[in-house]
Structure formats: C-alpha cells, structure tokens
C-alpha cells in the first residue's frame, strides 16, 4: 500500500512539473497569424541579434521603437506578401546585409549593403589574366604572370584544402618575386580552410583578433573577448610580398581571411571594403515556416574593431571602365605596380 501511494505521488509530481514546463514553453510560442509571426520575428532578433548596442551608437537604433512603428502596420486580414513586406522593412532598419528572411516566394535582404558599392570584379577580365594554362588544386587556380608575379584565384573556401596541395602551390610559385591572392566575390565557406591558407604567410604565432559569444537574451549579454591566434603552418611558407584583392562581395570565412592576412608580415590589402559577416550564422523558424538568419557572434580585429560590417583595404582601388574596355583589371594592375616597387 505504501509503495502504491508513493507511486501515485511520483506520478502526480511528474505531471505537475510537466504542466509547469509546458506553460513556460507556451509563453514563448506564437500563433501562426500575421501578429504572431511578426512578434516571433521581433522577439528572435531582440534576444539573439548581437549588434544593437553598436547600431544604437552608430545611428540611434531603438529596437522597441521599431516594434511600435511596424506592429501598427500588422492586421489579421493581410496577405503573406503584405506581411513579408512589413517584416522586410523592419529588418532593413538594422542596416545589416547579413540579416535575411527566407520564404517560399522571396527573401528579404538589405539591398544598400552592396548597391552602395561598385562590383569591382569582372569574370571576363579575370579569365583573361588566368589564361588557359593555369593550374588547379583544391579549388585554387594559380599561375605565374608574365612579370614573374604569382597569382592565386580563390573563389571560395568551401573546398577542403590539403597541406600537400598548398605545399605544391607554394613550391610552384616560389621563384616569383611577389604573390597576388584574388578573393574578390569569395562568399566564404569553411573557416578552417581560410585559416589554413593564411597560416602559410606567418613564421610565428600571431594575434589576429577576438571573438565574443551571446550569454543571455539582453542586448549587452556577451562573454569576455577571447583572443584569436594564427599559428604558422608546418608546411612551406611564403616569405615575400603578398597582395590580397578584395571587394564588397567578400563575406564570412573570406572576411576572416582578410582579417588574418592584415596581421601577417609583408601583406597589403588592395581593392574595396569587404562585406563582413564573419560571425557564425544563427537561424530560427517562424510559426508559418519562414526562417530568419543572421550572424550569431561578434568578431573583432587585433585592435578590437568590429569586423562584422566589413574590413577596409590598405589601398582603396576600383575597376576603371576605360581600363576594362582595354581588357585591363585596374585592381590587379595596381597590386602589380606595388609588387614591383
């Protein structure tokens, strides 16, 4: 009898705790309605977005005011297209090219992120410099230019790069007087691959930046800054001048690569400001199945400047239309001129 009574108490306690837990979860659940989906999106950003303090200092962003402004545009009879438009307008207040809302019919993006900058890259020009006798390994295209300057075209860090592959690249280009690494339009990929390539350009461990992580739902809830260090590769390392070519379409792991390379000796960044977005992405789903994605952790350079919104080059150089008409890439040529000095 005592065992039976004890069993009843355990069952009752379990049910009670389950009910309590469910009620806690329900507090953060929203209905699949225009208002419910709007509130869910606003709350996800409110608790997870990392740059409210930065945006507040830059241009006075107040996320609570944004809620009041856009919730007034929500009504129960609006279509999905109308709801999407309101949400996209709200997200554009963040002025962040790395915040996207995905639906089955469109995705929201902050157009000014790229539209305010020239493309500074031409596929046809780039193919002209590569020619047809270039080498390829692990996604890297490389050759020796006619003035004995090495050229590596790195379109992405999505491919795994082996140590042996990099040794072969470094060995082949070793006789060159300088090296150009063209990462324009590189949208990122694996951070480990970006780090592996950058490790070929330092002979000692160096501080390259800092990283933080979200520790709570408050706008200022972050861990202390943690150092990021780049260790030299055990393979063949480059010992001469190196020039990294960038444009606004350099993102994520490629942005981190630029951050690393700015700390390496004899390295110069040429081109345009990168697109940023180095932090690992965070994704969440709304009640209606739409998803939102944005950078989940702040990243900084060695001087503790935030790199989320791009890294400026050492020399800001744009493609010249007259040069392009003659088959000349102004950014590559500028780097070649620096290399010859």
For the stretch 68-125, pLDDT in tens is: 999 999 999 999 999 999 999 999 999 998 899 999 999 998 877 767 788 999 999 9
pLDDT digits (tens, 9 = 90+) for 207-241: 999 999 999 999 999 999 999 999 999 999 999 99
Whole-number Å distance between alpha carbons of 246 and 223? 31
H/E run at residue 91: helix 80-92
- pTM here is 0.86
Looking at 2-134, which runs of residues are DSSP E strands?
Answer: 100-102, 107-108
Residue spans of the domains in the chain: they are 123-202+237-275+310-340
Whole-number Å distance between alpha carbons of 151 and 244? 10
Residue from 218, 202, 262, 284 nearest 37 by CA: 284
pLDDT score of 243: 98
Q: Does domain 123-202+237-275+310-340 have CATH number 3.90.226.10?
A: yes
Looking at 50-184, which runs of residues are DSSP E strands?
Answer: 100-102, 107-108, 135-137, 140-144, 149-154, 178-182
Q: What is the mean pLDDT of each run of 10 residues along the chain (341 residues)?
A: 40 38 49 98 97 94 98 97 98 94 94 79 94 95 97 96 97 98 95 96 98 95 97 98 97 96 98 87 95 93 95 97 96 97 89
């Amino acid at each position: 009898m005592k065992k039976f009574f004890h069993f009843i108490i355990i069952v009752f306690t379990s049910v009670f705790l389950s009910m309590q837990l469910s009620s806690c979860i329900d507090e953060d659940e929203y209905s699949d309605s225009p208002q419910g989906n709007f509130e869910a999106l606003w709350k996800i950003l409110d608790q997870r977005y990392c740059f409210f303090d930065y945006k507040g200092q830059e241009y006075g962003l107040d996320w609570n005011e944004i809620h009041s402004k856009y919730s007034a545009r929500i009504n129960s009879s609006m279509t999905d297209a109308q709801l999407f438009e309101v949400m996209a307008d709200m997200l554009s207040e963040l002025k962040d090219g790395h915040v996207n809302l995905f639906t089955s019919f469109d995705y929201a993006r902050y157009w000014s992120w790229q539209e305010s900058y020239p493309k500074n890259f031409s596929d046809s020009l780039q193919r002209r410099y590569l020619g047809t006798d270039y080498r390829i390994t692990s996604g890297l295209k490389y050759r020796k230019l006619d003035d004995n300057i090495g050229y590596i075209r790195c379109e992405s860090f999505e491919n795994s790069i082996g140590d042996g592959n990099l040794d072969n690249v470094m060995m082949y280009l070793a006789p060159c007087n300088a090296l150009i690494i063209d990462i324009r339009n590189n949208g990122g990929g694996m951070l480990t691959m970006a780090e592996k390539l950058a490790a070929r350009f330092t002979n000692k461990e160096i501080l390259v930046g800092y990283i933080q992580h979200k520790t709570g739902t408050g706008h200022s809830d972050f861990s202390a800054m943690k150092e990021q260090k780049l260790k030299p590769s055990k393979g063949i390392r480059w010992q001469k001048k190196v020039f990294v070519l960038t444009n606004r379409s350099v993102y994520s792991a490629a942005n981190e690569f630029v951050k690393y390379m700015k700390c390496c000796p004899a390295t110069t960044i040429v081109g345009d400001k990168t697109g940023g977005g180095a932090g690992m992405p965070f994704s969440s789903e709304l009640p209606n199945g739409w998803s939102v994605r944005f950078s989940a952790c702040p990243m900084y350079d060695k001087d503790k400047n935030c790199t989320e919104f791009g890294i400026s080059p050492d020399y800001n150089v744009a493609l010249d239309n007259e040069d392009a008409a003659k088959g000349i890439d102004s950014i590559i040529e500028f780097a070649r001129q620096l290399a010859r000095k």
